Chain A
């Protein structure tokens, strides 16, 4: 009985810490993005609120909370309110299976640095994030606005197309580790990072991850010059910011998967595991911002051609080659 209580207690603590930090990181991700982009464009970025604008996310949050919450007259109300929730919940849920560090022992009780290690780890993440698309489609449809609808349709088409290459690009790693559990995948990288064995898999993953989270140069769902703002044109106040948070939570998720699958997870010398994990995550996020401030946007037909006619065959070829090599080596 005591074990059950202790287990529940530790699980609740782990969940609160991870989700608290996750929400805080999302807020500061926006600050990081504005700052990094500003410096890349020889500007200063937010400077007024706090030291170098450090309190800017708080100010933005308060501002968004106090804005008027508008629901369009012709919108279908239930779906309009549900859509932001559908967008953000899956984005936050996928962090339940990501390992942040090795086991630690506190007064004789060993604790895994992961909320739960399930044997279908990566499938859980892929399944949960695939539901997140509905937030965007339903937001576009329920607004009863043609720009929203077009943005939603574009986005859903894009996300389905690139979900395929994301899934296929990870299969090479799964073939090497012979496990779907993220803990096992990190443990298998104690010597070499998988980015060395799976360079093509990583390239395909990196490109499709950028497309999957609708970021520049794949940010067609919210192309300002064509679609006003895309699927969230009609959203205001906290509902709008939920979409924003979902987008940034998705960036964190794909970065965490990249770190876990290709860069050894929390493994690294000298520093504690959690710090290594955060450093690697930050580098991934920096990469996202870097790309955004470097490349112009794709055209829509280019995007579809690239996804289906280039990335997908490359990912499939990567699986075949990986399989052959595994069979030959034994």
Chain B
């Protein structure tokens, strides 16, 4: 009862903030709404008994990724970018975006009605998870069952870091 009430309240906050991200004119305000969305999502994770994921959500997305977003927005000249955005109108893009958006909603609706509501209960119930410990369980699964995707992701990030360094590095004058 209390959980579903909290879920509805937090869900509404998440959706409101997500809409706020799109409709704000000023990029900084959009970023602030996005931060709020990230933090509210963490509460939804806690409602799903995934405390570790919730903490990492706040720490990585709200605490690190969004700081860099805000950082870049501040370093770029925001006002000029603002005006340019207002000038060019991409009508074709708008039409296709609306079409694809509706398609996405339809797919999500069909999938939800067909499978998720009729799904079977998995191995990791909240009680079982509390027994092992949330963090321990995530760590164990990450390094046993899902070690391949985990390592692939780390290689991908490593490649991205090296790419960023090469792009940012000034060429030495001879």
Contacts and interface: CB of A to CB of B under 8 A. Distances in A.
- Do A and B share a complex? yes
Interface of A: 76, 79, 118-120, 123-124, 126-128, 130-131, 133-134, 137-138, 141, 149, 152-153, 156-157, 160, 163, 178-180
B20 to A, nearest CB: 12
A144 to B, nearest CB: 11
Given A128-B58, A137-B70, A119 B51 contact: yes
A138 B141 CA distance: 38
B135 interface: yes
Contact of B55 (A123, A137, A160): A123
B67 A134 contact: yes
A254 B86 CA distance: 46
B111 interface: no
Contacts of A157: 71
A137 B72 CA distance: 12
B135 A180 contact: yes
A156 B71 contact: yes
B71 A120 contact: no
B103 interface: no
Nearest to A133: B67
Contacts of B52: 120, 123
Contacts of A152: 74
B86 to A, nearest CB: 19
B39 A131 contact: yes
Given A120-B52, A131-B39, A141-B28, A126 B59 contact: yes
A120 B64 contact: no
Contacts of A79: 28-29, 32
A4 to B, nearest CB: 12
Contacts, number: 75
Contact of A119 (B58, B74, B133): B133
B62 A130 contact: yes
Given A79-B28, A120-B52, 4 more contacts: A119-B134, A128-B58, A131-B58, A153-B74
B51 A127 contact: no
B49 to A, nearest CB: 11
Interface of B: 26, 28-29, 32, 35, 39, 42, 51-52, 54-56, 58-59, 62-64, 67-68, 70-71, 74-75, 133-136
A279 to B, nearest CB: 30
Nearest to A138: B32
A156 B51 CA distance: 26
The 3 closest A-B pairs by CB, nearest first: A130-B63, A123-B55, A127-B58
Contact of B70 (A120, A123, A131, A156): A156
A138 B29 CA distance: 10
B80 to A, nearest CB: 16
Given A79-B32, A118-B51, A120-B135, A137 B58 contact: no
Contacts of A137: 67, 70-71, 74
Nearest to B78: A141
Given A141-B28, A153-B71, A153-B74, A120 B39 contact: no
5 contacts: A119-B51, A119-B135, A131-B39, A138-B28, A138-B32
B42 to A, nearest CB: 8
B55 A127 contact: yes
A133 B56 contact: no
Contacts of A178: 136
Contacts of B28: 76, 79, 138, 141
A160 B59 contact: no
Contacts of B56: 123, 127
Given A119-B134, A131-B58, A163 B63 contact: yes
Contacts of B58: 127-128, 130-131
Nearest to A125: B55
A118 B135 CA distance: 12
A127 B52 CA distance: 11
A186 B40 CA distance: 31
Contacts of B70: 134, 137-138, 141, 156
Nearest to A164: B64
A184 B67 CA distance: 32
Contacts of A180: 135
Given A127-B58, A180-B135, A141 B63 contact: no
